[in-house]
Chains A and B, each alone.
Chain A
Amino acid sequence: MSGRVPAARRMTTADPKRLVVSLLGVGAAIGLVLLLQGLWNGQLVQITAYEDNVGADLFVAQSGTESILGDRSTVPLAAIEELAGVPEVQQADPVHIHYTVFDLHGEKELVLLVGSDPGDLGGPWELSGGRAPAATGDAVLDRTFAEEHDIGVGTEFEMGGRTFRTVGLSEGTRSWMTSLVFVTAETAQEMTGGGEVATFLLVRTDEPDAAAAAIRASTGLDPLLPATLAENDREIMAGIMEGPVLLMIGIAFAAATLVVALTVYSGVVERLREYGIVKAMGAGRFRILRLILGQTILLAVAGSVVGYLMYLGGAWLVGQLRPQFWFSLQWRHLMVLSGAAIGMGLVAAIIPARRLGRLDPASVYRG
């Protein structure tokens, strides 16, 4: 026996049909875990789309406010003038943010109403059609949300007892829980019955830390970095959903590793005769073990690649059918899962390998 013969690879590919079935099984199990993990990561990215993309360097909020999702911030519009006196502040604009329920064709849709003045910070950051809201009754809807409800630029719709006209369609402004609807500040104020107050004052500055300190000292309000606000929102979201979601991912992960283990074990057991022949030809225990481990690693690595391809396909399909669901996957997730698959495969391979160690080579030549 020469060590140069790629026996593991040859034995793995000797039965192409079995190989394909094994790879599909392992790939499907790994692909599911990646899909669930990617879906969960995507939701955490989506939920903070507003603070991540609106272009503000600081969100000035009512004292004690820590998030958009979990707090009700109210700041006086008069504070804008105080902010204008802070040298580090380049621009400060009010934004009004309120949850409201849309009733479209009898379906209730939770939307986040965002009101800002034309040209100010706070409006849609990417338009795929039309323009930003400029007058009372103008509204910009998320493109995927609008498509789902057969709304296009120019379509009128009812919300909160008012008639709105869709003047534009925005991109990347929808999460699985809610969609952003952009209107003018005046409209948002009227709809919420609010007086001379805003939800946040959005600030643009090159020196966020210095500006924040100055704003806090002069107004008593809480300036928050978008990253801090996003982190707090993610924490709230995780607090609500994380338990069941992580349990689902954990169970899928356990099932996937068992599928890998079972596939490896079955593969070895089915080939006992072939291993017996290799042993009869003079291969020692170590050589047999190496052969099995080589096949296991090949199966786990190739299965991970198939799983990743299945994840890409699944994510694309969900994106087509339900565009409000985003996917985001980090390489470390793929690495951890592949590592676990290899680990479980190796553990599963040891059991039949021990049996092979005791196998009488002559027995393979009997019927």
Chain B
Amino acid sequence: MVPIARRMLFTDRRRALLGVAGVAIALVMALTLDGIFAGTTRQVSRFIDTSPADVFVSQEGVRTIHMAISLVPGAVADEIRQLPGVVWAEPVLFSSDALRVAGARRPSYVIGYMPGGRGGPQILVEGRDPGPGEMVIDDSAATALDIAVGDEVEVLGATWTVSGLTTGMTSIVNTSVYVTFDDLATALASERTASYILIGTEGDPEAVAKSIEAAIPGVESQTRPRFSAEERSVVREMSTDLLNIMSFAALLVSLAVIGLVLYTSVLSRLRDIGVMKALGLGRIGVTRLVLIQGLWTVVSAFALAVAATFGIGAIVASVAPDIDVVVETASLVRAGAGAILVAAIGVIVPLIKVWRVDPATVFRRPS
């Protein structure tokens, strides 16, 4: 069987490349903007996602960290440790303030954890864990605010010395700083309470989460994936909606451009298609021909666009480390399926003229 559609499409390489390039540019825009939105949304649950805890316990009714106040009696951690399936349980304190230094500031979570425990920074890229009066800050915030290990910073009305730097804990919403549990308890005048209890489990975390809620009144118990999804959801509603609209607008415009590129592409090949019709190709055959050509164009462009988007992501990561470009499968499916759909419309609309045309006209020389 002769692959007529593909041969016709790529006979004029320049024309074929222009079509592929146009579609690819539109797809790169849609995928990259969606990737920035996805990366930004993921960043906000980084504390939860990178925590070794399988289950998070909070005050009843509190399902997030962002814009929430959770108070759990400190004794709850001891009670949880006695429950089956619980390997370890550690309290952490949370507060919000600004990290300030020399006239500059950055909104920040202040996380108080037990020294040597699992609630602290998961990675230290420089320095050491905080001692009394010390804190670990994120390297991205440190760069932005020109802070180095050993410098003094202000948080919660007190002065702290930076003992180390962690990484990946700055998001579009804020950054995170780590201090000792006792220091934060003193700063917040909080006695014998925690904000959240982090729990390591053996077996099914979901079952452990349920058993905690059943055994201890007044607490909310969520597995890490559920807690993370709740956190992303609330931040998306409150903070990242703007990026969502931008990303969606880009997708719509990209699809429109793809449709127009494919429309123009078929318009410019109408004469060739007319020849095929004159040689005996029926309506179905002509439609199939342009649909296959459209599919070839979109598939080639899609492969190029995905590679280019990953390339842009790598460049962004090296130039602006606090911005993540995350290409999600859902985003690829959305852009790919949308591109195929508008491409199909784009190639079929100009065919209406071909369906009506007298095949003999194509043999007349254009004037």
Contacts and interface: CB of A to CB of B under 8 A. Distances in A.
Contacts of A244: 36-37, 39-40, 172, 243, 323
> Which one of A36, A108, A255, A258 has the highest number of Cβ atoms from chain B below 10 Å of its Cβ?
A255
A29 interface: yes
Interface in B235-283: 237-239, 241-243, 245-247, 249-250, 253, 256-257, 260-261, 263-264, 267-268
Contacts of A333: none
Contacts of A22: 264
Interface residues of A, number: 50
A39 B241 CA distance: 12
Contacts of A28: 253, 256-257, 260
B249 A314 contact: yes
> Which one of B33, B40, B67 has the highest number of Cβ atoms from chain A below 10 Å of its Cβ?
B33
B264 A259 contact: no
Contact of B250 (A32, A101, A176): A32
Contacts of B261: 25
A145 B4 CA distance: 58
Contact of B15 (A40, A241, A259, A269): A269
Interface stretch (B23-31, B187-195, B203-211, B219-227): B23-31
A236 B105 contact: yes
B332 interface: no
A364 to B, nearest CB: 11
A245 B250 CA distance: 13
B362 interface: no
Interface in A232-267: 236, 239-241, 243-245, 247-248, 251-252, 255, 258-259, 262, 265-266
B365 to A, nearest CB: 7
Contacts of B322: 243
Chain B binding surface, main DSSP class: helix
A243 B250 contact: no
A24 interface: yes
A133 B29 CA distance: 48
B234 interface: yes
Contact of A39 (B28, B242, B264): B242
A21 interface: yes
B293 interface: no
A22 B172 CA distance: 37
B191 to A, nearest CB: 18
Given A32-B253, A70-B98, A248 B243 contact: yes
A285 to B, nearest CB: 21
A108 B264 contact: no
A108 B237 CA distance: 8
Interface in A136-191: 176-177
A43 B246 CA distance: 13
Given A18-B264, A236-B105, A251-B29, A259 B22 contact: yes
22 contacts: A24-B260, A25-B22, A28-B253, A28-B260, A29-B253, A36-B246, A70-B98, A70-B105, A108-B238, A177-B238, A240-B173, A240-B174, A248-B33, A252-B33, A259-B26, A262-B18, A265-B18, A269-B14, A269-B15, A270-B268, A273-B366, A322-B245
Interface of B: 14-15, 18, 21-22, 25-26, 28-29, 32-33, 36-37, 39-40, 67-68, 98, 105-107, 144, 172-174, 234, 237-239, 241-243, 245-247, 249-250, 253, 256-257, 260-261, 263-264, 267-268, 312, 316, 320, 322-323, 365-366
